[in-house]
Amino acid sequence: MQYEESFDVIVVGGGHAGTEAAAAAARMGANTLLLTHNVDTLGQMSCNPAIGGIGKGHLVKEIDALGGIMGTAADHAGIQFRTLNASKGPAVRATRAQADRQLYRQAVRTRLENQPNLRIFQQACDDLLLDGDTVVGVVTQTGLKFRAKTVVLTVGTFLNGLIHIGMDNYKGGRAGDPPSITLANHLRELPLRTDRLKTGTPPRIDANSVDFSVMQVQPGDNPTPVFSFIGNREDHPQQIPCYITHTNEKTHEVIRKNLDRSPMYAGVIEGIGPRYCPSIEDKITRFADKTSHQIFVEPEGLTSTELYPNGISTSLPFDVQLAIVRSIKGFEQAHIMRPGYAIEYDYFDPRDLKINMENKCLHNLFFAGQINGTTGYEEAGAQGLLAGLNAALRAFDKEAWSPRRDQAYLGVMMDDLSTLGTQEPYRMFTSRAEYRLLLREDNADIRLTEEGRNLGLVDDHRWAMFCDKMERISQESQRLRTNWISPAHDAAPALNELLKTPLSREHNLEELLRRPEVNYTSLMAVDGIGPGIDHEQAAEQVEIQIKYAGYIERQKDEIQKHLRNEHTRLPLDLDYGEVPGLSHEVIAKLNQARPETLGMASRISGVTPAAISILLVHLKKRG
Ligand code: FAD
């Protein structure tokens, strides 16, 4: 049967990529359908109940700056908030929230159900509808056909998903959910490069069986950080602490003795796992000299007794999991509620995607999330938003949009994926960005919200709040620049108590704030200078912009130099074999990767600066 209505955008999958994709397309006015296995698992966290962290928090802020869901959902579901790297520079500071799993799902669902232009439908998608090499819709498990101008696939770990616990394995999308076998088999018939990856999760433990008194308490920050630029602390539910315990020699002994029963070490698992989220068996093998590893004991919610022991992801058999858990301080009597497991799944080579996330071979088909070889909710959500917005742009016959590497972590990620691809699950780190000082969490809205507004992603409420904040920053910066304090000023004695060297001449407030021993709060506390602005985000921005002005300017100059060639376009049909002077290796790599710009070409390993110069000359000759 053919469904009566035709859509602009169909999003398949209601995980983190799918929910952001559907919401973004709908916000832009596209008539959108979100087709997913189960409406009750919209926004489900498959693994760790936490949002953010280093690099990942930056992505959440960018999603939020573009009007996305993740930041506000995390604010409404976060039961412990922390700023990581708080003592370091603003570029690497990152927000992390432990989330109540149910509250998070609820927050996502509520936002989707109240999103105009969006319909939700529960059923498995089994195939794509194609007209030549153009995708025109999807077919569900029961043969229902939905037509659309564009389709976004966000099916996560579900394609040919195979769950391993010890030597036992069974098909599944994640524990408790069915795999996508038919869709995976149909996709494998298409001219797309595919391979296997794997990821894993720890056993979950019943808090009623745990002795917290022997563990270290880890409280959240007070005042609590806020994720969304339009959020506030009052959005947060009750806050509760996490705990810390450790593995020990006994734990490691249990694991070493049973390594031959690990599907990974016995060679049963073919897929490569996430390097930065290794299983406990991986950790004790790779770091054999370490006698202990830290475990963060994280509550899964306010109304659940389930605990997530972060740090002991494993696919060892259940009896070994139990022995591992019970060897750990505080877990001696622990009851496992859900066993840990590893999952292998199909992913598609992201080098087959354009930078706007559209497939290079099949028109109007977009991929986002774990299907592209990434790992993590934030990576998935950010890609989903970009794919959803580009699918909508395509449906409206408008030009594609994606942020540059110097504009957003989202730009860094998509450039990395589409030019370099990935052989292991890709996760975001601040070290992946060359312009870290500009790509901070705190200025994600300044980098992206205006662009989001122009694209139709940002609603009136967010836009008004953003404009108000920008106005306050501008006024306060102006005040600090134009207010001068001389040694004879009434405020000078109190000010001198703050300064390492007392005032010897007149200074404006901007110069004073630039001194290392001064911050905005301490300066505004001086009688006759403060109280300053009553707007936390704007005050933080004023301080960072002034204190780091020199570094920021230098980085902007670097970007300008770099941009000259970065965006020079390379024709997708260019036969690199016909470019005189390129080595066989470079020709093969460029013909395979088909980069869209010179900048992307330059980041392919083996493509030398000399090869880039040859390409530049060739492009000029082609005219
Ligand atoms: P998912 O969240 O997997 O969502 C996919 C959605 O698509 C689901 O709603 C599903 O029901 C739906 N779907 C699938 N097939 C179909 C179909 N044919 N028709 C309709 N709907 C369909 N991330 C980390 O950062 N660190 C970790 O250590 C980590 N460990 C993990 C361990 C496990 C066991 C799993 C399963 C995941 C782990 N993750 C981890 C990954 C994290 O869960 C994903 O990166 C993230 O959820 C990906 O989001 P997504 O939207 O791409 O896919």
Q: What is the pLDDT of residues 77-126, one digit of tens each?
A: 999 999 999 999 898 999 999 999 999 999 999 999 999 999 999 999 99
Residue-wise pLDDT for 361-375, tens only, equals: 999 999 999 999 999
pLDDT at 101 (0 to 100) = 97
Residue to mutate, 59, 199, 428, ligand 1, most ligand atoms under 8 Å from C-beta: 199
Whole-number Å distance, alpha carbon 381 to ligand 1 midpoint, is 11
Residue-wise pLDDT for 468-486, tens only, equals: 999 999 999 999 999 999 9
Percent helix, strand, coil in the chain, to 5, is 40, 20, 40
CB count within 10 Å of CB 247 equals: 24
Quote the CA–CA distance of 305 and 205 in Å, as a whole number. 8
Is the Cβ atom of 180 under 6 angstroms away from ligand 1? yes
Whole-number Å distance, alpha carbon 48 to ligand 1 midpoint, is 12
Q: At what angle do helices 444-455 and 56-65 cross, to 10 degrees?
A: 40
> C-alpha angle 405/406/410, rounded to 5°?
45
Residue 567's pLDDT band (cuts 50, 70, 90): confident
Quote the CA–CA distance of 353 and 191 in Å, as a whole number. 13
Q: Are the C-beta atoms of residues 108 and 69 closer than 8 Å to each other?
A: yes
- 141 φ, ψ to 5°? -50, -35
The one-letter amino acid code at 100 reads D
Nearest C-alpha to atom 28 of ligand 1 is from which residue? 277
Residue 317 has pLDDT above 90, yes or no: yes
How many angstroms separate the Cα of 144 from the Cα of each of 34, 39, 124, 582? Answer: 14, 17, 10, 51
The one-letter amino acid code at 119 reads R
Q: Ligand 1, closest atom to CA 174? A: 36
pLDDT at 165 (0 to 100) = 96
Residue to mutate, 19, 33, 35, 37, ligand 1, most ligand atoms under 8 Å from C-beta: 37
Residue 621 has pLDDT above 90, yes or no: no
pLDDT, mean of residues 143-156: 98
Whole-number Å distance, alpha carbon 166 to ligand 1 midpoint, is 21
Q: Ligand 1, closest atom to CA 177? A: 11
> Strand locations in 125-186, DSSP E?
125-131, 134-140, 145-153, 162-165, 168-171
Residue-wise pLDDT for 333-345, tens only, equals: 999 999 999 999 9
Q: Are the C-beta atoms of residues 184 and 159 closer than 8 Å to each other?
A: yes
Q: Of 119, 81, 124, which is closest to residue 100 (Cα–Cα)?
A: 81
CB count within 10 Å of CB 544 equals: 19
Nearest C-alpha to atom 38 of ligand 1 is from which residue? 47
Nearest C-alpha to atom 4 of ligand 1 is from which residue? 15
pLDDT at 303 (0 to 100) = 97
Residue 27 has pLDDT above 90, yes or no: yes
Map tokens 């109190």 to a residue. Answer: 494
Least confident of 36-50, 188-202, 591-605: 591-605
Residue 609 has pLDDT above 80, yes or no: no
pLDDT at 572 (0 to 100) = 84
Is the Cβ atom of 325 under 6 angstroms away from ligand 1? no
Q: Of 248, 246, 223, which is closest to residue 234 (Cα–Cα)?
A: 223
How many angstroms separate the Cα of 162 from the Cα of each of 245, 268, 441? Answer: 31, 11, 36
Map tokens 């799944």 to a residue. Answer: 345
pLDDT at 447 (0 to 100) = 98
pLDDT, mean of residues 278-304: 94
Whole-number Å distance, alpha carbon 36 to ligand 1 midpoint, is 12
Whole-number Å distance, alpha carbon 295 to ligand 1 midpoint, is 23
Is the Cβ atom of 35 under 6 angstroms away from ligand 1? yes
Is the Cβ atom of 251 under 6 angstroms away from ligand 1? no
Question: H or E stretch including 341?
Answer: strand 341-348
Residue 623 has pLDDT above 80, yes or no: no
Quote the CA–CA distance of 489 and 495 in Å, as a whole number. 10
Residue 381 has pLDDT above 90, yes or no: yes
Q: Of 176, 183, 170, which is closest to residue 124 (Cα–Cα)?
A: 183
> C-alpha angle 526/531/533, rounded to 5°?
140
pLDDT at 613 (0 to 100) = 81
Token pair, residue 105, equals: 């799902």
For the entire predicted model, the pTM comes to 0.93
Residue 36 has pLDDT above 90, yes or no: yes
Q: How large is the ipTM? A: 0.98
Residue 264 has pLDDT above 90, yes or no: no
pLDDT at 222 (0 to 100) = 95
Q: What is the CA radius of gyration of the chain?
A: 26
Quote the CA–CA distance of 63 and 54 in Å, as a whole number. 15
Q: Ligand 1, closest atom to CA 374? A: 45
Is the Cβ atom of 343 under 6 angstroms away from ligand 1? yes
Residues in the chain: 623
How many angstroms separate the Cα of 26 from the Cα of each of 29, 355, 364, 369, 590? Answer: 5, 21, 17, 19, 36
> Strand locations in 516-567, DSSP E?
none
Is the Cβ atom of 165 under 6 angstroms away from ligand 1? no
Residue to mutate, 47, 60, 201, 295, ligand 1, most ligand atoms under 8 Å from C-beta: 47
Is the Cβ atom of 369 under 6 angstroms away from ligand 1? yes
Q: Ligand 1, closest atom to CA 46? A: 43
More confident residue, 93 or 273: 93
Q: Ligand 1, closest atom to CA 16? A: 51
Q: Are the C-beta atoms of residues 401 and 393 closer than 8 Å to each other?
A: yes
- 395 φ, ψ to 5°? -60, -30
Instruction: Indicate the DSSP class of residue 276.
Output: T
Quote the CA–CA distance of 406 and 418 in Å, as a whole number. 16
The one-letter amino acid code at 168 reads D
Quote the CA–CA distance of 100 and 303 in Å, as a whole number. 8
pLDDT at 276 (0 to 100) = 76
Is the Cβ atom of 381 under 6 angstroms away from ligand 1? no
Quote the CA–CA distance of 184 and 491 in Å, as a whole number. 70
Q: Ligand 1, closest atom to CA 277? A: 28
Whole-number Å distance, alpha carbon 156 to ligand 1 midpoint, is 4
Nearest C-alpha to atom 3 of ligand 1 is from which residue? 156
Q: Ligand 1, closest atom to CA 179? A: 15
Quote the CA–CA distance of 459 and 226 in Å, as a whole number. 20
Whole-number Å distance, alpha carbon 44 to ligand 1 midpoint, is 8
pLDDT at 565 (0 to 100) = 80
Whole-number Å distance, alpha carbon 370 to ligand 1 midpoint, is 6
pLDDT at 278 (0 to 100) = 87
Least confident of 50-64, 189-203, 431-445, 563-577: 563-577
Q: Ligand 1, closest atom to CA 125? A: 19
Average pLDDT, the chain: 94
